[in-house]
Structure 1
Amino acid sequence: MNEVVGLSEDIAALPVAEVAQRLGQPVSRVHQLVRDGYLLSFRREGEVVIPSDFLGDDGSVIKGLPGTITVLRDGGYADADILRWLFAEDDSLPGTPVQSLRAGRHREVKRRAQAMAF
């Protein structure tokens, strides 16, 4: 896992241990969630981190994120490309795909992911 080129340094990210605490899960479970495509992680300054926007205020993974990741992975996108896309401005949404997921517009985000992947 490398630092993601083209991903803004402004994106707030949390160490895996803190994500585990917020989810109420052991660190090993968070690593499993990343392997299974429920979350994405990357390295920042040598530490494995997960964008804080992937977590809801209720201490869960935001709705629609795992499905969106799966669609894009199935379409051949690498995790770094998926991360860049999730945080890229999209005037037609408006905002970024991750902002739309957080706002509950997961169906629209998934439709765009499907169009990109196939």
Structure 2
Amino acid sequence: MSAIPVADDVLEPDVTVLSLDEVSAALRVSANKVRQMLREGQLIAVRRDGDLVVPAAFLTKEGVVKGLGGTITVLADAGFGRTEMLRWLFERDESLPGASPIQALRTSHGSEVKRRAQAMAF
């Protein structure tokens, strides 16, 4: 089994994170499925206090934020590493609804977020 890619913890200390068990419970899937999602780039994890955690902003009551996996793929295709992706997703951008790419995704503005991610590849 391949290792889980882990981003450096570049998140602000007040960003809420969830353990893999909490993500598993929230998504109603096994912990192994969560690990698979991390390996496949549907989610990004960081190591905080020795534990793998996922930003709570990546999840909604319905599951993973719509468009997050596609955005991660676009950023990977543009050459971004996991740490750079995480930094970009949480970076303040007042021109986006919600003031950051992850908040814009959470408010159904995925097309604009993906467009900006694609533009960064050039």
Do 1:3 and 1:44's aligned partners in 2 also have CA atoms closer than 8 Å?
no
Normalised to the residue count of structure 2, the TM-score between the two structures is: 0.90
Structure 1, unpaired ranges of 5+: none
How many pairs were matched up? 116
Identity %: 47
Q: Which amino acid aligns with 2:75?
A: L
Of the three residues 91, 94, 105, the one matched with 1:91 is 94
- Describe the superposition over 1:81-107 as per-residue Cα deviations: whole angstroms up to 9, x where unpaired: 100110010021140000000000000
Q: 1:66 to 1:9 in 2, by over 3 A?
A: same
Q: Larger strand proportion, structure 1 or 2? A: 2
Map 1:56-71 → 2, pairs under 5 A: 56-58=60-62, 60-71=63-74
Normalised to the residue count of structure 1, the TM-score between the two structures is: 0.93
Structure 2, unpaired ranges of 5+: 1-5
Query: Is 1:34 the counterpart of 2:38 in the alignment?
Result: yes
Give the C-alpha shift of residue 2 in structure 1.
5.7
- Describe the superposition over 1:39-73 as per-residue Cα deviations: whole angstroms up to 9, x where unpaired: 11010111100000100122x10101000000001
